[in-house]
Amino acid sequence: MIEKKLEIAKSRLMIEHPYFGTLASALKFEKNENIEAFMCEGDTYLYNDDYLESLSQDEISFTLANAAMHQALYHDKRQSKRMGWMWHLATDYAINAILVENGLALPERINYDSRFEGQYAEEIYETLRSEIMDDEVREEEGEDAESEDSEEKQSEKISKDEKLEAEEAYERFLEQVNQKLQKQGDLPKGLERIVDLKHGSSISWRDELYRYVNAHAKSDYRFFPPNMKYLYLGFALPAIYGEHLSITVAIDTSASVDKVLLEQFLAELAEIMQIFPNYEIELIECDAKIQHISTLYPTEPLTATLKGGGGTDFRPVFDYLEDKIVDRKFLIYFTDGMGKFPAYLPHIDTLWVMPEAVAVPFGETIVLSSKS
């Protein structure tokens, strides 16, 4: 079934190429027999059933990465007055060169030319334009003197708000990618070529928070019903039922954490719940001791007692998790960082999310920013 192949391809992409997988995880799937292969419209991945049937699992992963990159690079907003079909061809060449460079399996009927490796989409467009350009294209692109008036009228129809929105969206993308460039290994090969290194970053913390959480999302493997494909060989493999997030979140409710910061903690937790529709989150509220424990499931509202107001001690949370029978592999701890840490090294991966940088004896830290 194509839908199952798409989900498996998305899971494989997340494991083998986390950056592309993170981008592709937000795609929605929609069958469309009016197209020959596949395309991306916003966050929707449109596909032709017969075309995907002809591809291997790895080749489907390539198409998902391609679609996600078109969305991430704001190619639709960067088209300007360029011809649509030629601009799409140029962006395809640019993206596919990066995907091939990173070892993804190139399917048939994909726009790829090794001579475009290392080039921007804008550069590739100019090359194609000089090669393909003829009188008909010139007329359509509006380069003749007679068409200048019509171009001016058409450009006036594009509102300043739309232009500003497109520019701001691309700036946000540049900021995120630039921050990733500062961390060795975070970016796939070749992606640094598409950004201007002069741009700074002010929103890296939210992007990093999403990356950490997404890395700990897993596919739900079940044996009942099993994957039927290999039953004839005498053994059953688990079936994949989509990404499932199972983590623990602790919130510091001590007196040193004010109401504004508590609300920000809850807002980030709510954002995580929005991104992952299939989750089970154990929520622990703790100051000097555990005040409340609850479990959050999809379709249920986010509720928290926010009891506390005492001192700050992180040890009760880790002691509780060490004694639990259910294995939790990831903990997000929202705190100001001013408290007592365990003397031992916990077995659980820990991400500390705090308003200011504080030295921690274990785990990794993300510092919240007021900018977004």
Locate the DSSP E strands across 42-140. Answer: 44-47
Q: Say yes or no: 189 and 259 in one domain.
A: no
Between residues 121 and 77, which one has the greater pLDDT? 121
Between residues 236 and 254, which one has the greater pLDDT? 254
Q: What does the block give as tokens for 21?
A: 């997988």
Between residues 334 and 233, which one has the greater pLDDT? 334
Domain boundary pick from 201, 231, 257: 201
Q: Say yes or no: 186 and 58 in one domain.
A: yes
pLDDT given for residue 323 in this prediction: 84
Could you tell me if residue 232 is inside a domain? no
Domain span at 93: 2-201
Could you tell me if residue 105 is inside a domain? yes
Could you tell me if residue 44 is inside a domain? yes
Q: Say yes or no: 187 and 132 in one domain.
A: yes
Number of domains in the chain: 2
Q: Say yes or no: 57 and 125 in one domain.
A: yes
Could you tell me if residue 233 is inside a domain? no
**Rounded (10°) CA dihedral 145, 146, 151, 156:** 110
Q: Say yes or no: 47 and 192 in one domain.
A: yes
Locate the DSSP E strands across the chain. Answer: 28-31, 38-41, 44-47, 218-227, 237-252, 279-286, 290-296, 330-334, 349-354, 364-367
How does pLDDT run across 284-329, given as a tens digit for each residue?
Answer: 999 999 999 999 888 777 878 888 888 999 999 999 998 876 666 7
Does the structure show a pLDDT above 90 at 209? Answer: no
Q: Say yes or no: 275 and 193 in one domain.
A: no
Q: What are the counts of helices (DSSP H) followed by strands (DSSP E) for the chain? A: 12, 10
C-beta neighbour count of 113 within 10 angstroms: 13
pLDDT given for residue 206 in this prediction: 59
Q: What does the block give as tokens for 293?
A: 């424990």
As a residue count, the chain comes to 372
How does pLDDT run across 221-235, given as a tens digit for each residue?
Answer: 343 344 443 344 444
Nearest-angstrom CA–CA distance, 4 and 37: 18
